[in-house]
Amino acid sequence: MWSDPRTRARLGRLVPPVGRRVDAVSDCLFCRMVAGEIPADVVHQTDRVLAFRDINPQAPTHVLVIPKEHHATAAALVAVDPGLLGELVAGAQTVALQEGLVTDGGTEPGYRLVTNTGPQAGQSVHHVHFHLLGGRNLGWPPG
């Protein structure tokens, strides 16, 4: 479906052409952090993934895990590079291990990984990011 040119045209700039590298967006906060123009408290990175502490933490551990390439949402990312979505989840697990939120091979005490999409979910930065939250009991359902 994503490779259908008509679908891609409908989705417009959210979905860049398959296989094409996505350029940094100059007015995107997270692209500017990736570029080093805005400081970030980095806790983990690979060549394609960056993880840094949220400026307004909602839990003892609150880390944002982002692709270094600009994609607006998880759906936009998975349409062009599903492997990179997997690298984000792996990056989050690496940080969770570092932060003592899980042990190698275990799931305790645990953490939450969440990505907000769109205004009703409260997405305020339009560069896909996973919130990695842990270090306290997290209520469910979320607010």
The catalytic site residues sit at 129
Cα separation, 94 vs 97, whole angstroms: 5
Cα separation, 60 vs 135, whole angstroms: 5
Binding mask 118-137 for Zn ion (x = CB under 5 A): ---------x----------
Q: Is 33 in the site for Zn ion (CB under 5 A)?
A: no
Q: Is 122 in the site for ligand 5GP (CB under 6 A)?
A: yes
Closest to 133 measured CA to CA, from 111, 115, 117, 116: 111
Residue with tokens 């759906």: 75
Q: Is 143 in the site for ligand 5GP (CB under 6 A)?
A: no
- Cβ proximity to Zn ion: between 11 and 29 the closer is 29
Taking CB under 6 A as the criterion, the residue among 28, 109, 116, 135 binding ligand 5GP is: 116
- Other beta carbons within 10 angstroms of residue 56's beta carbon come to 6
Cα separation, 109 vs 33, whole angstroms: 30
- Other beta carbons within 10 angstroms of residue 102's beta carbon come to 16
Q: Is 54 in the site for ligand 5GP (CB under 6 A)?
A: yes
Site for Zn ion in 53-72 (CB under 5 A): 70
Size of the site for ligand 5GP (CB under 6 A): 13
Residues of this chain that interact with ligand 5GP (CB under 6 A) are 29, 40, 52-56, 64, 116, 122-125
